[in-house]
Amino acid sequence: MRFNPWKLDYIGLKKYSYGISLALVLVSVLSVAIFGFNYGIDFSSGTSVDVALSRPVDKAAVERFLDDGRSEWGEYVLTPGNERLSIRFKEVLNAEQQTSFRAAFQSGLDADASFEMNVVGVDIAREQQEKAMWGVLFASIGILIYVAIRFEWRFGLAAIIALLHDAIIVMGAFSLFRLEVNMPFIVAVLTVIGYSINDTVVIFDRIRENLRFAKIKTHADLANVVNASVRQTLTRSINTVVAVLIGAVLLFALASPSIRLFSLAIIIGLVAGTYSSIFVASPLWFELRKRMKAKKPAKAAATAS
């Protein structure tokens, strides 16, 4: 078959798309379970320092400097760079230690360096993580209720599975590639969830609309409606994701390190979100709906108006 997205049988592809999604989700979950996250200090407590250098500083010199200061600032992890370098201290540095670090760095390595320092205590870190998780949970419930009222519960359930799918893949990618998980990352996951919902609802809305005029007698009829709806909204799905990707990719390419990982999370999430709306959420709704007794198509028409 020649590849033409406007002729594809999206429902027929479900054995592949489910396979791909299940594999991705499984790898993600396993990665998170086995390797965990490379927590930034927002979630693990400690001190992170981001230094903007005014001139290149030799990596060895920085290491020597940090080794010398080990008695005062403790263990560290250094990520070197030409214009910026970032240092993570395991310890929570107090105000005096922060001052002494800044002063020592400026007198020893680069007088015009500029710093960003983050210090987070353990309980705050844990609390933020909990908050984020509760946020996703309650948001999902809220969305389910809304979509159940406006559409029907099957749409809501399928949309939430797609949403969790996207969130899990983004988290999995970060776990697998050891990218730092911090507060901006959580915000990125929230952004992805927002996008994923928006993207899915638009396709579902078209399915709902097409259902009103469709005479559905067989499962094939139902599949046709879903396929037609996906195809009709396909240009929109692609164009929207391209437009948002333009922003995310430029941020990734140009913005500072703290936003770079954030943009990366969004890029992964956007692609996953678009994919899942078409290949996961829509076939899932089809499966759920298929199980409904075929003699009650009137119900969908009623809720759709």
> How far is Cα 138 from Cα 119, in angstroms, rounded to an integer?
29
Q: Which residue has the tokens 């030409």?
A: 82
- Asked if 131 touches other proteins (CB under 8 A), the answer is yes
- Asked if 184 touches other proteins (CB under 8 A), the answer is yes
Please identify which residue in 8, 13, 38, 116 interacts with other proteins, judged by CB under 8 A: 116
- Asked if 60 touches other proteins (CB under 8 A), the answer is no
Residue type, 126: R
> How far is Cα 239 from Cα 173, in angstroms, rounded to an integer?
25
> How far is Cα 276 from Cα 195, in angstroms, rounded to an integer?
11
> How far is Cα 189 from Cα 165, in angstroms, rounded to an integer?
11
Neighbours of 82 (CB within 10 A): 10
- Asked if 148 touches other proteins (CB under 8 A), the answer is no
Shortest Å, Cβ 119 to other proteins: 4
- Asked if 278 touches other proteins (CB under 8 A), the answer is no
- Asked if 190 touches other proteins (CB under 8 A), the answer is yes
Q: Which is nearer to other proteins, 104 or 113 (CB)?
A: 113
What residues form DSSP beta bridges with 76? 89
- Asked if 188 touches other proteins (CB under 8 A), the answer is yes
Q: How many residues bind other proteins (CB under 8 A)?
A: 70
Please identify which residue in 61, 111, 220, 254 interacts with other proteins, judged by CB under 8 A: 254
Shortest Å, Cβ 294 to other proteins: 27
Give how far the C-alpha of residue 248 lies from the chain's centroid of Cα atoms, to the nearest Å: 12
- Asked if 143 touches other proteins (CB under 8 A), the answer is yes
